[in-house]
């Protein structure tokens, strides 16, 4: 028997609470994620922005899908798409759909404002 949309929404709420602002260890991610490409994405972003946050603004669930509108926030401490660590705090909007299967995230579709993050990382220091 599959989970209800409300149960899937609660799962994503627990997932976001568990990983936001925390170290995203492989063991923690595996508790919630079976989607290999999402686990790799989390690992890569965590390496560039340790303990980054995903701040949920809206969550909608239907059937086995959960949609999240959120804000990404992190401090750039590792290489990100060829940009050496800057120590800058960045934030950007994102929308992500999760497909839930067997109590874990089995698939995802992510729309992220990466151009905004890159602009924040490459911004020139403010003039005095």
Measured distance CA(13)–CA(121) in Å, rounded: 29
Q: What is the CATH number of domain 5-122?
A: 3.10.450.50
Average pLDDT, the chain: 94
**Beta carbons within 8 Å of 35's beta carbon, 6+ residues apart:** 105, 106, 107, 108
Distance CA 103, CA 122 (A): 40
Q: Model confidence over 64-111: pLDDT tens digits?
A: 999 999 999 999 999 999 999 999 999 999 999 999 999 999 999 999
71-76 own/partner pairs: CB under 8 Å, 24+ apart: 72/112, 72/117, 74/45, 74/48, 74/49, 74/50, 75/49, 75/50, 76/48, 76/49, 76/121
The span from the CA of 93 to the CA of 95, in Å, is: 7
Q: Residue ranges per domain, the chain?
A: 5-122
Contacts of 82 (CB under 8 A, 6+ apart): none
Token pair recorded at residue 17:
């609470």
Q: What is the pLDDT of residues 23-79, one digit of tens each?
A: 999 999 999 999 999 999 999 999 999 999 999 999 999 999 999 999 999 999 999
């Amino acid at each position: 028997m599959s989970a209800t949309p409300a149960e899937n929404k609660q799962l994503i709420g627990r997932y976001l609470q568990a990983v936001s602002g925390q170290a995203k260890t492989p063991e923690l991610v595996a508790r919630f994620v079976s989607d290999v490409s999402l686990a790799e994405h989390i690992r890569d972003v965590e390496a560039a922005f340790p303990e980054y946050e995903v701040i949920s603004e809206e969550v909608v669930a239907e059937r086995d899908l959960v949609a999240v509108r959120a804000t990404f926030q992190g401090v750039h401490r590792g290489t990100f798409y060829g940009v050496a660590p800057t120590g800058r705090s960045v934030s950007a909007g994102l929308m992500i759909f999760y497909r839930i299967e067997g109590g874990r995230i089995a698939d995802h579709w992510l729309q992220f404002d990466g151009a905004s993050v890159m602009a924040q990382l490459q911004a020139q220091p403010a003039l005095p």
